[in-house]
Amino acid sequence: MEDNKVVLLDWWASAFAMRVKIALAEKGIKYESKEQNLFNKSQELLEANPIHKKIPVLIHDGKSICESLVILQYIDEVWHDKSPLLPSDPYRRSQARFWADYIDKKLYSTGRRVWTGKGEDQEVAKKELIELLKTMEGELGDKHFFGGDTIGFLDVTLVPFTSWFYTYETWGNFSIEAECPKLIEWAKRCLEKESVANSLPHPHKIYEYSFELKKKLGIE
């Protein structure tokens, strides 16, 4: 299948954009990455995602696809002959979707409350974050990856957030590894894959940036 022009509207620290980069790499799809300025949004971004004005946006043959999990499923369906992300069995697909939805409902907002929060709010958020990561650990069980022997939809959905763990831990003054060792081992296994290693920035870079991000967001 010929790869017609694929463009990704990107932002280096976005876990949601990292998901798409991993998927594109897994499938061996060539694409152009266009780094966006989220504090001064480009005309291209506003036209590609007029409703949410957010990244990531995948533009394939001039058509925009928004929402990272929608993009993942689109990539899986169009480039279906290589490295499938979702399993073929409908029940297993429903479970992968369920846990991806769980992550989307909780992880970003809870993580944000941890690294930007203070006092009691931050303590509550830390507790919630550990609880949800422990739940994911339980779901992983003894498997190598959430997808089984190879990384799948759920691995791609969750692993980008691990690049933010150092930021959560340092601002929150706690250790995720101490509470969820198996999840950290899983993250390390994922990072052995080139597609993941090349898509996730070094956690320290994100932490360094978080100071600037706090200023930009008007948080003390």
Partner 1 sequence: MAEVKLHGHWTSPFSYRVIWALKLKGIPYEYIEEDLSNKSPLLLHYNPVHKKIPVLVHGGKPICESMIILEYLEETWPQNSLLPTDPFQRAVARFWIKFAEEKGPTVWMMFRSSGEEHEKFKKESLEMLKTIEEMALGDDKKFFGGDEISLVDIAFGAHAHWLGVIEEVAGVKLLEAHKFPRFHAWIQNFKQVPVINENLPDRDQMVLTFKRIRESLLASP
Nearer to partner 1 by Cβ, of 92 and 189: the residue is: 92
Could you tell me the two tokens for 153? 């939809």
CA distances from 90 to 28, 82, 93, 94, 136 (A): 25, 19, 5, 6, 21
Q: Is 157 one of the binding residues for partner 1 (CB under 8 A)?
A: no
Report d(CA 92, CA 45) in Å as an integer.
34
Report d(CA 128, CA 46) in Å as an integer.
34
- In the complex, least distance from residue 87 CB atom to partner 1, rounded to whole angstroms: 11
- In the complex, least distance from residue 90 CB atom to partner 1, rounded to whole angstroms: 4
Short-list 4, 127, 140, CA closest to 61: 4
Q: Is 29 one of the binding residues for partner 1 (CB under 8 A)?
A: no
Burial class (CB in 10 A: 0-12, 13-18, 19+), 91: exposed
Question: For the window 125-154, what string marks contact with partner 1 as x by the rule CB under 8 A?
Answer: ----------x-------------------
User: Judged by CB under 8 A, how many residues of this single chain contact partner 1?
Assistant: 24
Binder of partner 1 out of 32, 98, 109, 143 (CB under 8 A): 98
* Sites of contact with partner 1 (CB under 8 A): 50-51, 60, 63, 65-67, 69-71, 73-74, 77-78, 90-91, 93-95, 97-98, 101-102, 135
